């Protein structure tokens, strides 16, 4: 059975690592904030907490990484390299630019280490419930060996092409997410202004053609002005800027992206403390 180590115990990574442990696949964890790794290791039997990414890499066959941004990922890969050996696999579950994925794939290929860019979608709920979707690019043979790992926390996983393909797919996903968030936040702000009954409207909208994941998972909390769980606005803004760069390369003009970029930039610049992108409704009211 493949042995795995997990780096990055944030809101997504922590439950993903937990699922790996329950399936008997997790050997070690590491986190930039050592307290998180210590707490995880104490709470999960037979999980070690090495002192460095390189030490973790020496212990396992597959290294799974889930960090916030491109430079964070570059730093983790650099720190892993002393512990990497030919035949090992590095799987990146972060959301970064496709060009960054290609850069790191080339860098690791020199060491005969496989790289798979495998961003996930499904939100914090998907991570907690083991119901994520994984969009993968990079080494196809390496990805074919990861079924047991993917099955631990995902309901769907597909290989989409060479290095960067997974990140390109995630950019498409985030473009759609942003458009849906704009529409739902605006729609529910109008519901409030019209004084329509909230519970009845959520039931009717969710049961018809307007129904979608975001409305189902965030509609009620939005109307209660609660934004404590989910996907932080600053992270979506980072993802949308990646998407903008990709669309510029394609010379593709989006009608959705400019509004979403402007709205989330204003939300973040205003110091929004909500932990979910549904906090956008506050600026729509």
Tell me which of 170, 217, 238, 275 is the catalytic residue: 170
Contact 130, 199 (CB under 8 A): no
Of 138, 72, 141, residue with least CA distance to 101:
138
Q: Which residues contact 119 (CB under 8 A, 6 or more apart)?
A: 92, 93, 94, 95, 96, 134, 135, 166, 167, 169, 170
Answer yes or no: 170 catalytic: yes
Contact 132, 149 (CB under 8 A): no
Tokens of 118: 């495998």
Between CA 84 and CA 57 the distance in angstroms is 6
Strands (E) in 13-124, as ranges, are 26-30, 62-65, 89-92, 114-117, 120-121
Tokens of 165: 């393909």
Give catalytic residue positions: 170
């Amino acid at each position: 059975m493949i042995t795995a180590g997990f780096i990055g115990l944030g809101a997504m990574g922590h439950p993903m690592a937990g699922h790996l442990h329950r399936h008997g696949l997790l050997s070690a964890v590491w986190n930039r904030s050592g307290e998180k790794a210590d707490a995880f290791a104490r709470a999960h039997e037979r999980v070690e907490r090495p002192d460095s990414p390189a030490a973790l890499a020496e212990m396992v066959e597959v290294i799974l990484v889930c960090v916030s941004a491109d430079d964070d990922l570059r730093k983790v890969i650099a720190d892993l390299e002393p512990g990497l050996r030919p035949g090992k696999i590095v799987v990146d579950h972060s959301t970064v630019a496709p060009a960054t994925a290609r850069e790191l794939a080339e860098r690791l290929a020199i060491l005969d280490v496989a790289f798979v860019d495998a961003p996930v979608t499904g939100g914090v709920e998907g991570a907690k419930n083991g119901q994520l979707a994984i969009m993968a690019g990079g080494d196809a043979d390496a990805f074919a060996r990861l079924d047991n790992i993917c099955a631990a926390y995902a309901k769907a996983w597909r290989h989409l092409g060479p290095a960067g393909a997974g990140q390109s797919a995630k950019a498409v996903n985030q473009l759609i997410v942003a458009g849906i968030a704009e529409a739902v936040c605006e729609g529910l702000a109008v519901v409030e202004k019209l004084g329509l009954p909230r519970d009845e409207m959520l039931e009717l909208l969710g049961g018809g053609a307007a129904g979608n994941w975001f409305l189902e998972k965030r509609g009620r909390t939005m109307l209660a002005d609660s934004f404590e769980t989910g996907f932080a606005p600053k992270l979506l803004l980072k993802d949308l800027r990646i998407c903008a760069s990709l669309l510029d390369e394609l010379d593709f003009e989006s009608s959705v992206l400019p509004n979403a970029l402007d709205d989330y930039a204003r939300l973040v610049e205003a110091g929004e403390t909500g932990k979910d992108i549904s906090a956008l409704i506050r600026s729509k009211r």
